[in-house]
């Protein structure tokens, strides 16, 4: 089990949150998603996760990643 903490640019409102949640819902490897509007931070946890593909995944829906940390 791995957890990635992403700093995301452009999370401003509830609809951004649901956009992100919906986008990662279909990824079966992800077991938990936490999105924080104040910190503009998303924590994704699950098995076999790859930082790079998750980062690209954010960009697909128009968010840019300014930082990330493996917890």
CB of 60 to other proteins, least distance (A): 10
CB of 13 to other proteins, least distance (A): 12
* Residue (25 or 69) nearer to other proteins, CB: 69
Which residues are near other proteins by CB under 8 A? 7, 9-10, 50-52, 55, 59, 62, 64-70
CB of 16 to other proteins, least distance (A): 11
Q: Say if CB 46 and CB 70 are below 8 A apart.
A: no
Collapsing DSSP to helix, strand or coil, 39 comes out as coil
Q: How far is residue 25's CA from residue 70's CA, in Å, rounded to a whole number?
A: 20
How many CB atoms lie under 10 A from the CB of residue 42? Answer: 24
């Amino acid at each position: 089990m791995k957890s990635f903490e992403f700093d995301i640019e452009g999370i401003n409102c509830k609809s951004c949150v649901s956009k992100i949640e919906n986008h990662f819902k279909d990824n079966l490897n992800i077991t938990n998603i936490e999105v924080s509007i104040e910190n503009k931070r998303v924590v994704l946890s699950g098995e076999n996760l790859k930082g790079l593909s998750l980062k690209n995944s954010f960009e697909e829906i128009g968010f840019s990643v300014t930082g990330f940390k493996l917890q």
